[in-house]
Amino acid sequence: MQIIDQLTNVRKMAQTESSPRGRIITFTSGKGGVGKSNIALNLAIALTEMGQSVTLFDADTHLANVSILMGKTSQSTLADVLFGDKTIADITIEDPAGMKIVSASSGMNDLTGLENGIKERFFQEIYKLSYKNDFIIIDTSAGLSETVIDFSIRADEVIVVTTPEPTAISDSYVLIKVLFGMKERIRFGTLINCVKSKEEAEEVFERFSLVVEHFLQTNTEYLGFVREDKHVRSAIQKQSPFFCAFPKSKASKCISQIAQRMLA
């Protein structure tokens, strides 16, 4: 209840702003290795190219993958906000297309053990920032750390990225079960990565969503899929987002479709 009370206080403070607020979306996954960070990054780029104002938070406090995928480093990171005297605005960088990026620091401690006042001020900054953006996209680490839970229950939506692998599906179910148990009014979406066809993705989602509905009495929205594509690995090796490096690839077309669905 303490976390929910803090969330309510932060929302009340943020609601003093007069302009409409953008959507805060947390991307997470039950297990690592499903391509979550890559999808979050490329979706943020796609939304930016569609004219949206987007800030991408790399909130993986253990492995800062977004910086690696983009081939960019930042001298200031979330650690300087949480444990130093900088604000989120101080550490935000902007790419040539206009997307704003807030970097994490690999190996930094997560939010565990932080004083509640520090946490509340930090999340208050994010809510204030949402009034200046159409989308705040937060890429968390995989699994169920306190940091993942903190960012998930404070978001407007939680998008769970999975693959057809049984372990990924099982871990995604556990993730939704735990988050739903902490905050019932939470909107879940599901993205299926690394599929061979549209039909495979739909079959995987149908099985997964039936289990979620039956055992948890909640639902998760189908947001689409990303095909297996050799260009994704090539882009990673080049440290360039595949949506930029290979805009006509199968994976990039899937990202465009997902971004359009998110806008709709």
One digit per residue, pLDDT tens: the chain, 264 residues? Answer: 445 455 455 455 444 445 689 999 999 999 999 999 999 999 999 999 999 999 999 887 666 678 778 776 667 778 788 777 888 888 888 888 899 998 876 555 556 656 667 778 888 989 999 999 999 999 998 999 888 999 999 999 999 999 999 999 999 999 999 999 998 889 999 999 999 999 999 999 999 999 999 999 999 999 999 999 999 999 999 999 999 999 999 999 999 999 999 998
d(CA 39, CA 59): 14
* Domain enclosing residue 21, as ranges: 2-263
93, β-bridge pairs: 101
Determine the pLDDT at residue 17: 47
Determine the pLDDT at residue 59: 85
Ramachandran area for residue 246 (φ above 0: left; ψ -120 to 50: alpha; else beta): beta
**CA-CA distances (angstroms) from residue 130 to 134, 147, 206?**
7, 19, 33
d(CA 181, CA 12): 23
Q: How far is CA 79 from the centre of its chain?
A: 19
Whole-prediction pTM value? 0.88
Look-up of token digits 């990054």: 41
Closest CA to 136 of 90, 87, 88, 180: 88
Determine the pLDDT at residue 108: 57
Determine the pLDDT at residue 62: 60
Determine the pLDDT at residue 1: 46
Which CATH number goes with the domain that contains 88? 3.40.50.300
Non-local (6+) Cβ contacts of 201 within 8 A are 192, 195, 224, 225
Contact of 115 with 79, CB cutoff 8 Å = no
Q: How many domains does the chain have?
A: 1
Q: Is the dihedral of CA 235, 196, 152, 14 positive or negative?
A: positive
